[in-house]
Structure 1
Amino acid sequence: MVCMGNICRSPTAEGVLRAHLQQAGLAGQVAVDSAGTHGYHIGEAPDPRSSKAALQRGYDLSAQRARQVSAADFQRFDLILAADRANMTALRALCPPDRVARLDFILAPLGQVPVLEVPDPYYGGAGGFDRVLDLIEQASALWVDRLRQTLSMAAD
């Protein structure tokens, strides 16, 4: 899960997807992490507003710390999901050509054309954080379904 600073959207997406995977019994089979394309907040906890909104829905982001995307991420992860087009552009610039197929958007399963972006709530009010959670919860449920199918096919 990747956004710009790794303190609002991507840690929220990490926490929500991790919880949904756990509920689906897939937590031990899928590694979830988040990062930012920029190093503005390295080592910082998620934005308190993100943490508060997430906690109100049962997602604990308190153990997360911001980090920047690294070259190793393109080797380590089968999927790297961007919050928006700007971050996708940054990821494509860093990504080895043989790994570009691993890039997608966090909200891709929602089927919006053009791909719906996760709005950045950083400069807005509390409602923006709830909107981010609404979108990410919907997409995460669909990602879990996709991952379950992928894991099932790999086991066959």
Structure 2
Amino acid sequence: MPAATLPPARTPGQYAVALVCLGNICRSPMADVVLSDRVAAAGLADRVTVESCGTGDWHVGRRMDHRAAATLTSAGYNATRHRAQQLDDSWAERFDVLLAMDASNLAGTRSAASADGGAGERALLFRTFDPVDPGGEVPDPYYGGDSGFEEVLAMVERTTEVIVAALEQVLGSSGDRRGDRS
């Protein structure tokens, strides 16, 4: 699959994106919040579903890491709604694409997706869409300082811009971007 191309929608006019990391308290919830914001700004919120999960179960039901939430809040995003979820076989059936933050989580996502009879091709690295380093991994900031969360946010913001453009292409619409209306 060429870079910056999403798998086709399973339901015409609708698209579901899952974001996957290890514990669902840092990287994938940050990407969830930013992508949800960008999808809404593009006028696609009624056609695009965004959720996040982790391959591990340690944090199920918990809020995102306080440093991730603080980084998002400082950048003007609402980080209050997130509750950690765990990836299971049903995610491959419910989502058009599953975007993993690193190679290890991609392998876990593809393993879970294999139960869906070949849905593994719908699992990709999140940074497949990164205009700076396509196919790179999003580093886990959990054991580091605040600068790691800021680095992740910068990666997520630039990558989500490309993902939104890819969503517009898949959905056959340029959307209604805020600020572009006359």
**TM superposition score category, shorter chain reference:** over 0.9
Does structure 1 retain, via aligned residues, the 8 Å contact 2:130–2:158? yes
What is the TM-score normalised by the length of structure 1?
Answer: 0.94
RMSD: 1.2
What are the equivalent positions in structure 2 for 1:95-134 lying under 5 Å apart? 95-96=113-114, 97-110=117-130, 112=133, 115-134=135-154
Alignment pair present for 1:143 and 2:163 = yes
Q: Which has the higher helix share?
A: 1
Q: Which has the higher strand share?
A: 2
Structure 1 unmatched runs, 5+? none
Q: Structure 2 CA distance, aligned partners of 1:85 and 1:62?
A: 28
Task: Compute the displacement of 1:139 (Å).
Answer: 0.5
What secondary structure sits across from 1:27 in the alignment?
Answer: coil
Structure 1 match to 2:34: 16
C-alpha offsets along residues 21-80 of structure 1, whole Å, 9 cap, x if unaligned?
011101111000000000010110000000000011111121110010021111100010
The total of aligned residue pairs comes to: 152
The letter of the residue matching 2:147 is: G
The letter of the residue matching 1:51 is: A
Runs of 4+ aligned residues of structure 1 deviating over 4 Å after TM superposition are: none
What are the equivalent positions in structure 2 for 1:4-153 lying under 5 Å apart? 4-96=22-114, 97-110=117-130, 112=133, 115-152=135-172
Q: Structure 2 CA distance, aligned partners of 1:121 and 1:79?
A: 24
Alignment pair present for 1:3 and 2:10 = no
C-alpha offsets along residues 75-122 of structure 1, whole Å, 9 cap, x if unaligned?
100010000001011112211242011111111112536x21001000
Q: Structure 1 CA distance, aligned partners of 2:106 and 2:23?
A: 14
What secondary structure sits across from 1:117 in the alignment?
Answer: coil
Q: Report percent identity of matched pairs.
A: 38
